Structure 1
Amino acid sequence: MQKILDAIQAGESAAVGSLPVPEHYRGITVHADEVEMFDGLAAKDKDPRRSLHLDEVATPELGPGEALVAVMASAINYNTVWTSIFEPVSTFKFLERYGKVSPLAKRHDLPYHVVGSDLAGVVLRTGPGVHNWKPGDEVVAHCLSVELEGPDGHDDTMMDSEQRIWGFETNFGGLAELALVKSNQLMPKPAHLTWEEAASPGLVNSTAYRQLVSRNGAAMKQGDVVLIWGASGGLGSYATQFALNGGAIPVCVVSSQEKADIARKMGAELVIDRSAEGYRFWKDEHTQDPREWQRFGAKIRELTGGEDPDIVFEHPGRETFGASVYVARRGGTIVTCASTSGFLHQYDNRYLWMNLKRVIGSHFANYRESWEANRLIDKGLVHPTLSKTYPLAETGQAALDVHRNAHSGKVGVLCLAPEEGLGVRDQAKRERHLSAINRFRGV
């Protein structure tokens, strides 16, 4: 592994193709024999530091259409939090189901799960049938894994009957020194970014692109008022940038003055600090408060000059969904994913049906959407929102930060990279965008 790292550090990435592939590597895992370790605890009290382990694991066999990547850096997503607390189900159920698809997929059904759905790194090997990528290519990976043996996915690959999220519903994920991906997950690493910066947009950037911009999502247009929950977080920080770039009018909802400042640094003018406003959408565990929906809607109209949101970018889920349906304009769209505060949504259907509103479910992105989202990063039109980076051995703490919302933007993890700041290949381009790249640093 050290020889591979030395070659990459020396700028001789192409040389990795002649180096032997290690038989083992270090990766962040959860263990099948620990899935009941948090039984009886509330979700908020479950600590990822207890369940995420740094283990040495066997390097998987490389199959047709696949690539083995030396991972320089990765990042934390909420699906890693779910994996670590075994909610809403243990991911070992996903691995068991995937293992039944084919003899090759059986590799994924193991008593440990190497997690992580982002990476930036260097291709080490490619399997039979891979022509667009070669050892030495510097890449990032999106997290859509598909089989495409049936007809359903050939219009939109997200509709493939065997669509999965790599590193969550498959094994050998990106929070590790090596990762196994399908070649159609790979995209060029933006040359002006460090390894950790390049790794951080992947999942959330692509998800926000499909959810907000793509015709498969809300199909945002110029002038749309877009309500963005968690506008300084992983998903929301990219949605805010897409709204501003696309000529829309973002209304950014955040949870502190510090996060409000971040939204304004991105260029947003209309910001709601929900903590300062004291919104309480639930009277108790079972009862929502429509008066708070109304108060929230009035605040939005105060900021927009009387307009309701054309689009609500919804991802908190249970806590906010009733308010989201209420505040969307007549004929407006609520586009939803993630449900990080709970999956069982409640809302008053009168406000949906009588006002002809739509709810659209959106899940990650297809290869084309992911490629377009990554292209915007490469063009310097959208920027990473990395706030903090941990070493691989402290992934549990990084996941705890995200679990407790004690972060802004994205939290990165160094895998093979020995320190931050490495991997930049286009310094001149970086200098042009440096202040935007660093907007979230230290927040």
Structure 2
Amino acid sequence: MKNLFDVGEVPPLGHVPAYMHAFVIHADGHGNPCTAFKQEVVPTPEIGPEEILIMVMTAGVNFNGIWAALGKPASPSLFHGQHTHIAGSDAAGIIWKIGDALLANPNFQFKVGDEVIAHCGQYCSRCNHCNGGNPMLCKNQRIWGYETTYGSFAQFAKVLPTQLLHKPPHLSWEVAGSYLLTTATAWQMLYGFSPNTAGPGKNVLVYGGAGGTGSAVIQLTSLSGGNCIAVVSDDSRGKWCMSLGAKGYINRRMFKCWGRLPEINTPEYKYYLKEVRAFGKAIWEILGEGVNPDIVVDFIGEQTFPVSAYVVEKGGMVVTCGASSGFMLNIDASYLWMRQKRLQGSHFCSLSEIVKLQHLIMDGKLTPAVSRIYKWSDLPAAHEEMLKGGDHLGNLAIQVQVNS
């Protein structure tokens, strides 16, 4: 039996070749995705007694793959201690091998050959946070494919059993392998931080509304009975957001309030404040005079955070899951304490929340958006497009072992 198969060449079910193709990032080779991702032949990972090996059919493109390539804010090698890193935090595939302890467990409900989705949340499943609390606070919580050595950008990937969900049969491999990180992250930001949660009559503003996370925020807000405003880069993207259920959209290019907060009470600050108020008026034109968003979903970061802290409603929340434009955030703190606003960090979600989300997808109430599908060899280019803010809508998918 062969020890290495070409990408797209499927071995006999259950046969684990000694080697596999993968895109690898080296700790001394960080840079833009087009140079940092190296296609190499590496040993197929060995699994432990409580681990599972999946053959990856498709994978998703997320911004953490860009951070891994750039080595910013830190090299992923600092998280797991290995010189090489295989990124990729979304996958759909086929169970290829199961650890002995799981095979001996009568409650384990998967078998070799099952079609599955792997989400990126890894937890110990033993501590008090994992049992009755919030697993994202577990000391051993890791994001698979970012804080672990092996992710989905390879023919095979090892996962924990708690990462697996059965693949919804109505979803293509490409859709199934690309939506869960963004959509689960959107769920956590909208429902994870009481009392600032989405619901009937609640108003949400989301930047990057036409992207993977933004499109999920729009649909989930609409399903809850709330109103969502999408901030986008052009009108065509705004109209697409409206088709998903957004109450309205704002073209950010019409305003000049983006970037770091100017020194307060300077001429630059007065001009900035004028532009921010114009942006706030655009929000009112959609929601009504004097009505501000209860939640602002801001994963853009440096370019948008000062505006978010200004426009969010008194007692409202600005929630972030990343910072695609830069990590150094600055705000006018007086808006926080005087108007009792809240800044909240958010990081994926728990398995119980993922199951609720998956029911919406299985029932056809939530439709993951995928606009662009890349071949395996184009994986670096896909990340490069995301880094440059390309014209894609929704999520991006990578074909690994599937060649449809």
Give the TM-score normalised by structure 1.
0.83
Instruction: Report the counterpart of residue 431 of structure 1 in structure 2.
Output: none
Q: Against the structure 1 CA distance between its residues 220 and 172, is the aligned structure 2 distance closer, same or farther, given a 3 Å change threshold? A: same
Instruction: Report the counterpart of residue 53 of structure 2 in structure 1.
Output: 68
Please point out which of 63, 70, 94 is paired with 2:79: 94
> CA offsets per residue over residues 364-407 of structure 1, 9 Å max, x none?
11111122222222221111211111111110000001101103
Give 3-state SS (helix, strand or coil) of 1:401's partner: helix
> CA offsets per residue over residues 12-49 of structure 1, 9 Å max, x none?
xxx82xx32111111111012324xx4xxxxxxxx311
Please point out which of 143, 150, 153 is paired with 2:120: 143
1:267: how far off? Answer: 2.4
Q: What is the rounded CA distance, in whole Å, between the counterparts of 1:208 and 1:415 in structure 2?
A: 26
1:290: how far off? Answer: 2.5
Q: What is the rounded CA distance, in whole Å, between the counterparts of 1:204 and 1:3 in structure 2?
A: 30
Q: Contact between 2:292 and 2:312, CA under 8 Å: does it hold in 1?
A: yes
Please point out which of 160, 163, 169 is paired with 1:191: 169
Please point out which of 361, 372, 377 is paired with 1:377: 361
Instruction: Report the counterpart of residue 266 of structure 1 in structure 2.
Output: 244
Instruction: Report the counterpart of residue 79 of structure 1 in structure 2.
Output: 64
Between stretches 287-296 and 303-312, larger displacement belongs to 287-296
1:301 counterpart = 2:301: no
Q: Contact between 1:279 and 1:296, CA under 8 Å: does it hold in 2?
A: no
1:118 counterpart = 2:95: no
Instruction: Report the counterpart of residue 159 of structure 1 in structure 2.
Output: 137
Q: Contact between 1:301 and 1:308, CA under 8 Å: does it hold in 2?
A: yes
Give the counterpart letter for 2:149 in structure 1.
Answer: N
> CA offsets per residue over residues 202-223 of structure 1, 9 Å max, x none?
1001100111123568421111
Q: Contact between 1:153 and 1:161, CA under 8 Å: does it hold in 2?
A: no
Please point out which of 26, 30, 35 is paired with 1:31: 26
1:22 counterpart = 2:17: yes
Q: What is the rounded CA distance, in whole Å, between the counterparts of 1:5 and 1:341 in structure 2?
A: 35
Instruction: Report the counterpart of residue 396 of structure 1 in structure 2.
Output: 380
Instruction: Report the counterpart of residue 105 of structure 2 in structure 1.
Output: none
Give the counterpart letter for 1:135 in structure 2.
Answer: V
Identity of aligned residues (%): 32
Q: What is the rounded CA distance, in whole Å, between the counterparts of 1:308 and 1:405 in structure 2?
A: 27
Question: Hey, which of these two has a bigger chunk of helix by percent?
Answer: 1
Please point out which of 109, 117, 121 is paired with 1:132: 109
Give unmatched runs, 5+ long, in structure 1: 9-14, 39-46, 97-108, 420-443
> CA offsets per residue over residues 215-274 of structure 1, 9 Å max, x none?
568421111011111111121010000011110001111111221121022122311011
Q: What is the rounded CA distance, in whole Å, between the counterparts of 2:261 and 2:293 in structure 1?
A: 27
Q: Superposition pairs for residues 142-291 of structure 1, below 5 Å?
A: 142-154=119-131, 155-215=133-193, 218-275=196-253, 277-282=254-259, 289-291=272-274
Q: What is the rounded CA distance, in whole Å, between the counterparts of 2:256 and 2:238 in structure 1?
A: 16
Q: Against the structure 1 CA distance between its residues 217 and 233, is the aligned structure 2 distance closer, same or farther, given a 3 Å change threshold? A: farther
1:152: how far off? Answer: 4.1
1:129: how far off? Answer: 3.1
Please point out which of 307, 329, 332 is paired with 1:348: 332
Q: What is the rounded CA distance, in whole Å, between the counterparts of 1:403 and 1:132 in structure 2?
A: 39
Give the TM-score normalised by structure 2.
0.90
